[in-house]
Every structure is written in structure tokens, then in C-alpha cells.
């Protein structure tokens, strides 16, 4: 598992709105049984776009909903489908903005 890998959301209740999870946890912590992930949404859910960077996964434009990040067990992540390392600074800036407020 690599930082900024994208995984399928296997949960039938949430996958329609959040088809993928973005793993933002550094690989240094790969021995943990959970990964810190951000849901990738088909729609914008918050007013501040700086907290929801726009990304492209398999030809679909999605929003990385940083305020809804959560730790999930590795065992419930689906198949790896992409890596968004090119958007690293956007994700780090959004997390920093969420925590510090600027």
C-alpha cells in the first residue's frame, strides 16, 4: 500500500456517492491494521473547495472530501485502481487547512 493510492469502496450503502477511498497515510506506518483514507465523492459536499480538491480517477471527476477522512481497517479496502501522488500538495494543503484554519 502506497500513500495516495486509490481503492474501490466495497460498501454497497456508500459506494454510489463515494466510489473510492484515497489512502493518505504514509507508508512508514504500513504495519498498522488501519489506513487513514479520504472518501472520493461524485459531488461537492462543502462550501470550501480548498477542503475538497478535484481529482480524476478512471475518467471520472471526483472531490477528495478531506473533512470526512477516517481510519478504516485495511481488510475492507477494495482493489487498488490508481495513485494520485501528482496531487500530493493539494491533499497536504487541504489537511493542513482543516487542522490549522489557514
- Residue extents of the structural domains in the chain: 5-100
Residues of the chain scoring pLDDT < 70: 44-47
Q: Please state whether beta strands 34-41 and 54-57 pair in parallel, antiparallel, or not at all (unpaired).
A: unpaired
CB 82 within 8 A of CB 62: no
Query: What is the CATH architecture of 5-100?
Result: Roll (2.30)
Query: According to the model, what pLDDT value does residue 45 have?
Result: 61
E-state strands within 24-95: 34-41, 54-57, 60-64, 70-73, 77-83
User: Taking the complete model, does pTM exceed 0.85, yes or no?
Assistant: yes
Please give the pLDDT value at position 43: 81
Helix (H, G, I), strand (E, B) or coil at 10: coil
Q: Note the pLDDT of residue 44.
A: 66
- Cβ neighbors of 42 (< 8 A, separation 6 or more) are 16, 17, 18, 19, 60, 62, 63
Amino acid at each position: 500500500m502506497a500513500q495516495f493510492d486509490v481503492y474501490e469502496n466495497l460498501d454497497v450503502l456508500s459506494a454510489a456517492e463515494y466510489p473510492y477511498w484515497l489512502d493518505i497515510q504514509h507508508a512508514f506506518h504500513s504495519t498498522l491494521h488501519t489506513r487513514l483514507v479520504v472518501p472520493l465523492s461524485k459531488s461537492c459536499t462543502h462550501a470550501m473547495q480548498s477542503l475538497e480538491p478535484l481529482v480524476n480517477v478512471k475518467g471520472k471527476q471526483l472531490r477528495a472530501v478531506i473533512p470526512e477522512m477516517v481510519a478504516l481497517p485495511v481488510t475492507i479496502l477494495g482493489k487498488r485502481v490508481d495513485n494520485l501522488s501528482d496531487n500530493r500538495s493539494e491533499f497536504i494543503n487541504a489537511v493542513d487547512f482543516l487542522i490549522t484554519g489557514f
